Amino acid sequence: MFFASDNSGPVPQAVLDTLAEANQGYTFGYGADALMDEVRQSIRDLFEAPDAAVYLVATGTAANALALATLVEPFDTVFCTPMAHIEEDECNAPEFYMGGAKLTLIQGPDRMTPEGLTASIESQGNRGVHGPRRGAVSITQVTEMGNVYSLDELQTLCDIAKSYDLPVHLDGARFANAAVSLGCTPAEMSWRLGVDVAVFGGTKNGLMGVEAVVFFDPAKAWEFELRRKRGGHLFSKHRYLSAQMAAYLRNDLWKDLAQRANSKAAHLYDGIRKRNDIHVINDVTANMIFFQAPRGVHQTLQAGGAKYHVSGGDLTEGPADGLLTGRLVCDWSLPDTEIDRFVSLLTTA
Amino acid sequence: MFFASDNSGPVPQAVLDTLAEANQGYTFGYGADALMDEVRQSIRDLFEAPDAAVYLVATGTAANALALATLVEPFDTVFCTPMAHIEEDECNAPEFYMGGAKLTLIQGPDRMTPEGLTASIESQGNRGVHGPRRGAVSITQVTEMGNVYSLDELQTLCDIAKSYDLPVHLDGARFANAAVSLGCTPAEMSWRLGVDVAVFGGTKNGLMGVEAVVFFDPAKAWEFELRRKRGGHLFSKHRYLSAQMAAYLRNDLWKDLAQRANSKAAHLYDGIRKRNDIHVINDVTANMIFFQAPRGVHQTLQAGGAKYHVSGGDLTEGPADGLLTGRLVCDWSLPDTEIDRFVSLLTTA
Amino acid sequence: MFFASDNSGPVPQAVLDTLAEANQGYTFGYGADALMDEVRQSIRDLFEAPDAAVYLVATGTAANALALATLVEPFDTVFCTPMAHIEEDECNAPEFYMGGAKLTLIQGPDRMTPEGLTASIESQGNRGVHGPRRGAVSITQVTEMGNVYSLDELQTLCDIAKSYDLPVHLDGARFANAAVSLGCTPAEMSWRLGVDVAVFGGTKNGLMGVEAVVFFDPAKAWEFELRRKRGGHLFSKHRYLSAQMAAYLRNDLWKDLAQRANSKAAHLYDGIRKRNDIHVINDVTANMIFFQAPRGVHQTLQAGGAKYHVSGGDLTEGPADGLLTGRLVCDWSLPDTEIDRFVSLLTTA
Amino acid sequence: MFFASDNSGPVPQAVLDTLAEANQGYTFGYGADALMDEVRQSIRDLFEAPDAAVYLVATGTAANALALATLVEPFDTVFCTPMAHIEEDECNAPEFYMGGAKLTLIQGPDRMTPEGLTASIESQGNRGVHGPRRGAVSITQVTEMGNVYSLDELQTLCDIAKSYDLPVHLDGARFANAAVSLGCTPAEMSWRLGVDVAVFGGTKNGLMGVEAVVFFDPAKAWEFELRRKRGGHLFSKHRYLSAQMAAYLRNDLWKDLAQRANSKAAHLYDGIRKRNDIHVINDVTANMIFFQAPRGVHQTLQAGGAKYHVSGGDLTEGPADGLLTGRLVCDWSLPDTEIDRFVSLLTTA
């Protein structure tokens, strides 16, 4: 019962097969492999963006930090939420890659609100040289709390950014889960809204470690290439990144995997809702569930073999009725029997 | 006839097999996987260094830049040769990761000389606050020009570094080729000489993309971990890095692959020497050959299908007898028939 | 009626006199001047810190950024308030000098609270390698909102920092104003509380542009010197910085100037309090007054010649009774007649 | 007999007078002072560059590093000579401000040669993403070895830079000494040649610490302002920088001071040439003399009270006839009697 993360499970056989397919003969390195040509074209087709510049890197942190560094200057600030991965989980990588640019945290609920974004932009960048200058807006879809912005919500945020002439970065580590949840196309969830750079994540959705960074305006493409190399993120044997992403794009595997993950979460959610005393705090439309439950319930679940992160207090020490928050993440490979086992444990806890 | 690089060939089946082996069930990410435990222990055993801190990253540039950043401060300089990969082929990654520290280039022949190193150290770091301060010595084994330092040569260089209290970084992108060439153990080519941090390269010797960074004194280990994450080089699905390195270490695969590559180069060298008018400019004891030949010879070879880098002038334009330098790199997988074909082309060119 | 800033007025004659005194003959540069010896000893005496390392720089931003960079690593975060100068008014200088380290903003009132500091520390630095690591606590005395921490308040904050093994940086751009306000010695307001590095500001208190950075533990002194030079903040003709600071320290000029500034603010405050409809929002014990007044009042004051910053809305557009916040800063040189004129304008506005 | 540096002497009375003049009443800070308006206009007039953006900073290191950071990207390299101040005497400040960009050192004699520059540019920036990219050319006039480029020499170097589309930075710490030596106008020695950014130095020529950074194309002006603030180099009480530079520009003080310094060096040179066994190794047309003399001669000079830097070996230990190089720098204020005393000592040594 492994609900700890969507980076904990195996990759589908198709990924291994494409790696084996790629492992034939000699090829030029550093992105000049034939599979990258396929990937580039597939992503352009998928995003309906024939001019897009497409790059692969191996980690989400690299994808975000490099994309932001390409968009902003070191005397700028990037607007994001306090829970954003770039703020919480990247050990200052964005600041490092951006040369010391700042993140300005937008207070408010999990999903950035138009009011919060506007207030935050207004409060920064009006101090002239005392700076920082306004740099970019970074939106995470699916959010770190498992919520999915509607297309209308995204449109409003992008419109605000554009009204200040700020570029928009989309952290799409769970891009596929969101697109499937919204039933929209990649184009509808990116450049058509005004997104300038999207991270089309693969790692959390069944790949070993590949994220595509998609620049809808290729003007900054060469700069990105130099920054990627300078960050040590250009693979000499690039074909093994290409192969993973090629597998992901062929036959809509990315969509298939995300659908599986999302529906497993929905299934799990159905089970959890059976208990009235457990409060699910996010909208479960993608692949994550955050639920508040008494410490004793968490203890029973984990003693029974469920693995997931708990926050809000110590799991082992404290009153049995103290409320703690558990995070359940479903990946494509999670066996339904494990979900059933979890729900069964929960209903008897 | 692909002699362009040792990052152009396929990986051995054992690597794919171990990836498949690793692709079972759920595991914690970020280096907490069981295969990493195996890798850590194997490298400690291999290097006879039971306390060594061992980390994996996916590229050689990341390995070098992160290792150096852990050794030096941003107001320091690192001593290396003008041809060092960290100077020539990493697009300022070392400077970036070191926060703006400098590389001081030691003039002289391809292999750093004791006199050159001493003179360079003496010329830097004696200007007090006008700096920079002396930071570290970085040695590349095998050099970028295909030469292998003897253990005595390395010992002398390390002794000089130590006499100035400077740590030593070993860029071992081709560590295996060198160890096989010298017939020495990894310990003999690293910490026993005074090397503080060694990069034990896998990518150029048959892996998809993994380098081990080995700190013989683990005092800086935690700092390295934070710097790796901050650089976006910590893999969430770390098991797929572990798996490659595990395959490499099991049954001395690393040694076997390097032996193959080196002996293919020796075979090739035997063929090239048959022509008196071609001058091989490095000591061919590892897996690279640099040879000077008339432009016309290079044109014939490349027209015949040989792929390799040429420097020193334009391949297509210029007098037929103008001398250009070709670089031939052999990887483990190069078919002997291709070598024979090349030699045959050469002798008839 | 210039209340815009304490960096707007002239310097006392003593400063010009000491510059002229320093302007004799030849001397070695870069801090090796005799006046710097005097300054170093005077500051050690003043702070009762015989081992302190003392450095001069020309701007407060440089003083703060260099001090913090010496205390923390680039993968760290520094805890401060949202209004701190290092966050609001230094255009990412701290992040730049710290190599990309982050500032974590402690929510709450103007003066950092123990609860706020503890909560903020607890919320950061518990995510292992996902970082950032906890770096330092930065306290501003006098705060940017014109409030003065009591010694007890400072002691509590320092104790919290120490309980987490975090160094404390004191942004003392208005150190003198605070010490005079509290009636305490420099030692009592710095190392005796646990402060590791204090900025002893001169620029806002009558110097042309000099701040002393005082390290109570000199272990990091050499690193600071290298960082200062690397930042371009080491003056070759250092004697002209020394001279200003020497003038400041002789005959307790620093204290005299701060007393004047503070008492001018007190005088001004007395006048402002006469109007019941004006709300002063800070504790006026140093040299700044923040007051809320209707837009119309601000318009009358500024039309009458008063110069000061207004925030919270547009000065010229909006309803006459809309509340805006004015900031009045008194420096040592402000003529009492100007204060009287301001009060007179206010009472008739 | 203080020949150690041109940052060792006093400033002329006119500078103190203008500081006193500036020290009247209240003014806005951060460059919005009236004296800065005068300075800006005077420099535009002096350089015949009505659109130039003009900024003041307090140190030469800051001027160079900020100017270069504005011209290049962090994945670039800057071409300069091995003796350039930016390489030798700024403790990695350029690399720091440029975000880790590299300096590529052009081998050859003290004055950069066209062949050397071309070869250096050709050797860098042709490796695509393996970088670095070509960034800028930095020329030092007067060189650190006391030589002055002719206008023709500068023109040739600028033309080469332009043929590669590279901007040119002129490190003019001794701009005035060079212009006086060449008898040319500031325009002739800067933008008319193709210089994009010139540092018009004041500190080494009689000011306390001010350098003007002149952008002939103001397109990057706002970026420079943000970078200056971010570096902690924007003075709140900016008028005291303005005042120094205003004094420097009024009545051609800058030219007068440089003429004095240069003629003192010429006077000194006349004396030195009387001894046949002393070899002056630079062209003495500005204010510096580098001379080779036996150790014994240096010992006699220094024992007699002459203060200057010696390089090439230990002054006190070694054979009396060992050749060491002495550096004599004349500033505007050097008494002629001291020069005569030095020459007298020398001729009897």
Is residue C336 one of the residues assigned to a domain?
yes
Distance CA B127, CA B16 (A): 53
Show residues of chain A in contact with C102, CB under 8 Å.
92, 95, 103
- pLDDT (tens digit per residue) in B220-238: 899 999 999 999 999 999 9
Same domain, B170 and B241: yes
Q: What is the mean pLDDT of residues B61-87?
A: 98
Q: Mutation test of the interface with chain A: which of C86, C87, C92, choosing the one with the most A Cβ atoms within 10 A?
A: C92
Q: What is the mean pLDDT of residues B69-85?
A: 98
C18 has a pLDDT exceeding 80? yes
Instruction: Name the nearest CA neighbour of C62 among C201, C236, C246.
Output: C201
Position A88 confidence tier, pLDDT thresholds 50, 70, 90: very high
- pLDDT (tens digit per residue) in A244-289: 999 999 999 999 999 999 999 999 999 999 888 899 999 999 999 9
Could B19 and A24 be called an inter-chain contact, meaning their C-beta atoms sit closer than 8 Å?
Answer: no
Q: Number of folded domains in chain A?
A: 2
Structural contact between residues B212 and B236, judged by C-beta atoms closer than 8 angstroms: no
Is residue B157 one of the residues assigned to a domain?
yes
Distance from CA of A247 to the nearest CA of B (A): 16
ipTM for the whole complex? 0.97
| Termini Cα distance of chain A | 16
C277 has a pLDDT exceeding 90? no
Give the three-class secondary structure for C329.
Answer: strand
Residue of A nearest to B94 (CA): A230
C236: nearest CB among D7, D91, D229: D7
CATH number at residue D133: 3.40.640.10
Q: What is the mean pLDDT of residues A317-326?
A: 94
The arrangement of strands across the sheet holding A211-215 comes to A53-57, A211-215, A197-201, A168-171, A133-140, A76-80, A102-105
Structural contact between residues D113 and D149, judged by C-beta atoms closer than 8 angstroms: no
Distance from CA of A114 to the nearest CA of B (A): 30
Distance from CA of B231 to the nearest CA of A (A): 6
Is residue B306 one of the residues assigned to a domain?
yes
Same domain, B249 and B268: no
Is residue C8 one of the residues assigned to a domain?
no
Same domain, D146 and D227: yes
Give the domain extent around B328.
258-348
Looking at chain C, which subunits does it touch, using at least 3 CB pairs closer than 8 Å as the criterion?
Answer: A, B, D
Q: What angle do CA B102, B107, B113 make, to 5 degrees?
A: 105
Could A89 and C130 be called an inter-chain contact, meaning their C-beta atoms sit closer than 8 Å?
Answer: yes
Same domain, D34 and D62: yes
Is residue A205 one of the residues assigned to a domain?
yes
Same domain, B200 and B71: yes
B100: nearest CB among D76, D88, D92: D92
Show residues of chain B in contact with C234, CB under 8 Å.
129
Same domain, A97 and A239: yes
Write the DSSP symbol of residue D195.
-
Is residue C5 one of the residues assigned to a domain?
no
Same domain, A139 and A239: yes
User: For residue A348, what are the CA distances in angstroms to A272, A305, B19?
Assistant: 12, 14, 39
Same domain, B136 and B266: no
- pLDDT (tens digit per residue) in B279-338: 999 999 999 999 999 999 999 999 999 999 999 999 999 999 999 999 999 999 999 999
Show residues of chain C in contact with B75, CB under 8 Å.
223, 226-227, 229-230
Same domain, A75 and A159: yes
**pLDDT tens series, chain D, 349 aa:** 899 999 999 999 999 999 999 999 999 999 999 999 999 999 999 999 999 999 999 999 999 999 999 999 999 999 999 999 999 999 999 999 999 999 999 999 999 999 999 999 999 877 889 989 999 999 999 999 999 999 999 999 999 999 999 999 999 999 999 999 999 999 999 999 999 999 999 999 999 999 999 999 999 899 999 999 999 999 999 999 999 999 999 999 999 999 999 999 999 999 999 888 899 999 999 999 999 999 999 999 999 999 999 999 999 999 999 999 999 999 999 999 999 999 999 988 7
Domain boundary among C231, C253, C275: C253
Distance CA D4, CA D331 (A): 10
A306 has a pLDDT exceeding 90? yes
Domain boundary among D218, D253, D288: D253
Show residues of chain B in contact with D74, CB under 8 Å.
92, 96
Could D130 and B90 be called an inter-chain contact, meaning their C-beta atoms sit closer than 8 Å?
Answer: yes
CATH number at residue B312: 3.90.1150.10
In this structure, what token pair is assigned to residue C156? 């509590």
Looking at chain D, which subunits does it touch, using at least 3 CB pairs closer than 8 Å as the criterion?
Answer: A, B, C
The strand pairing partners of A201, in sequence order, are A211
Q: What is the dihedral of CA D270, D271, D276, D277, to 10 degrees?
A: -120
Residue of C nearest to D20 (CA): C16
Position B127 confidence tier, pLDDT thresholds 50, 70, 90: confident
Is residue D6 one of the residues assigned to a domain?
no
Domain boundary among D209, D233, D253: D253
Distance from CA of A86 to the nearest CA of C (A): 10
Could B101 and D95 be called an inter-chain contact, meaning their C-beta atoms sit closer than 8 Å?
Answer: yes
Same domain, C159 and C44: yes
Total Cβ atoms within 10 A of residue C141: 27
Angle of helix B295-303 relative to helix B336-348, nearest 10 degrees, comes to 140
C125 has a pLDDT exceeding 90? no
B264: left (phi over 0), alpha (psi -120 to 50) or beta: alpha
What's the confidence (pLDDT) of residue C127?
A: 84
Same domain, D42 and D142: yes
Same domain, A175 and A195: yes
C56 has a pLDDT exceeding 80? yes
Q: A142 — phi, psi (to 5°)? A: -60, 145
Give the three-class secondary structure for A51.
Answer: coil
Residue of B nearest to C222 (CA): B129
B272 has a pLDDT exceeding 80? yes
D49-72 burial string, b = 16+ CB within 10 Å, else e? beebbbbbbbbbbbbbbbbbbbbb
Is residue C2 one of the residues assigned to a domain?
no
pTM > 0.90: yes
What's the confidence (pLDDT) of residue C233?
A: 98
Pairing of strands D76-80, D133-140: parallel
